[in-house]
Amino acid sequence: MAITIKDVARMAEVSISTVSRVINDSKPVSPEARRKVLYAIDQLGYEPNEIARSLVTRKSNLIGVIVDDIGSYYVSQIVRGIEEIGRMYNYDIILGSSYGDSEKEMKFLQLFKTKQVEGIIVVSEIIDEKVTSYIENLKTEIVYLNRYYNVPNLPTVYLDNKKAVTIMMEHLLELGHKKIMYLTQEKDINLTTEHCKIESYTSSMNMINEEPIIYNIDTHRILETYNHGQEILDEIREKEVTAVFCCQDELAIGLMNYLYDQGINVPEEISIAGYGDISVASIYRPTLTTIKEPYYDIGAVSIRKILKSIVGKVSDDIELPIRIKKRGSCKTI
């Protein structure tokens, strides 16, 4: 049986309220009593039961985090941001992985509510009507993050994707490229963030009076992109493309792998740019020119949003810094 506040009170010869007061520093306690209590706590090795405390204060100090897959790099960086900032305000993270299953997202949403979490952050890669409408009616504070889909009605954290694409296009143009292909992922294009990225790409191409060359593949995974390698390469050759701007780093890496295996040199024969700056981007050879999406900061801002409404007085959001990483995979034509 664990030591409780009663045991401490008995040993210190005071009431349990006094013990509670010294633990929480909530009300003045005489030095004498405080000393005795502290001594008893030390002797007994007493540690307060947070469960009991939560029950009465109605504060769990828990933030529920539902992710797609913690093994995915960008997800882990977001969680890192959430965790570090949460910790500063004494919040703990409770984690659930959905692996792209909306049923699981729902289950966690409900489970976390029963666990009395004070806020929920969802990192999803899918979009499901049942989930979003459940979230809309949730009384708990929530932030919904989706790397692929726009989520109009849900509290989220936005990046200026449009600007990011423009910046990358400017870089490629500076390097002398004109025939720039945009490699994207088509599915539900109107719902996704690709929508405005493509717009931005198209208007950049229009400015130099070039026909946009948009190529769709239906994946955001490295290996599957690799498997589409030949068809992409065919298109590259047909359209005399000199640079490929990929909507995600994973596509860029998959494509570079395919080109490597075909003995085609990047960037000598073709330039490749990515989007995201996942961990491999700077490790891979050649290093990948890409847009750095600030995953850590996205996590940090998300939890700040939540803490702001439950704790109040949380420092202001930093502006989310999107930056281009000019590296080895793109060169002058």
Q: Does the footprint of DNA cover residue 283 (CB under 7 A)? A: no
Binding mask 269-288 for a copy of itself (x = CB under 8 A): ----------xx--xxx---
Q: How far is the CB of 60 from DNA (least distance, A)?
A: 12
Instruction: Tally the C-alpha atoms within 13 A of residue 318's C-alpha that lie toward its C-beta.
Output: 11
Taking alpha carbons only, the member of 17, 20, 28 closest to residue 46 is 20
The footprint of a copy of itself on residues 99-118 (CB under 8 A) is 110-111, 113-116
Contacts of 297 (CB under 8 A, 6+ apart): 81, 318, 320, 321
Which of DNA, a copy of itself, none lies near 77, with the C-beta cut-off 5 to 8 A by kind?
A: a copy of itself
Rounded Cα gap, residues 204 and 198, in angstroms: 10
Q: Does the footprint of a copy of itself cover residue 308 (CB under 8 A)? A: no
Give the three-class secondary structure for 2: coil
Q: How far is the CB of 140 from DNA (least distance, A)?
A: 15
Q: Which is nearer to a copy of itself, 77 or 289 (CB)?
A: 77
Rounded Cα gap, residues 272 and 292, in angstroms: 15
Q: Does the footprint of DNA cover residue 310 (CB under 7 A)? A: no
CA distances from 205 to 4, 170, 181, 275 (A): 70, 10, 10, 18
Phi, psi of 223 (to 5 degrees): -65, -45
Which of a copy of itself, DNA, none lies near 284, with the C-beta cut-off 5 to 8 A by kind?
A: a copy of itself
Taking alpha carbons only, the member of 246, 294, 236 closest to residue 273 is 246
Phi, psi of 53 (to 5 degrees): -60, -45
Q: Which is nearer to DNA, 53 or 221 (CB)?
A: 53
Q: Does the footprint of DNA cover residue 117 (CB under 7 A)? A: no
Q: Does the footprint of a copy of itself cover residue 94 (CB under 8 A)? A: yes
Rounded Cα gap, residues 68 and 98, in angstroms: 5
Q: Does the footprint of a copy of itself cover residue 230 (CB under 8 A)? A: no
Q: Does the footprint of a copy of itself cover residue 189 (CB under 8 A)? A: no
Q: Does the footprint of DNA cover residue 55 (CB under 7 A)? A: yes
Structure tokens at 61: 């100090």
Q: Which residues bind DNA (CB under 7 A)?
A: 1-2, 4-6, 13-18, 20-21, 23-24, 26-30, 32-34, 48-49, 52-53, 55-58
Residues that bind a copy of itself (CB under 8 A): 47-52, 54-55, 60, 62, 69-73, 76-77, 79-80, 83-84, 87, 92-97, 110-111, 113-116, 222, 253, 256-257, 260-261, 279-280, 283-285
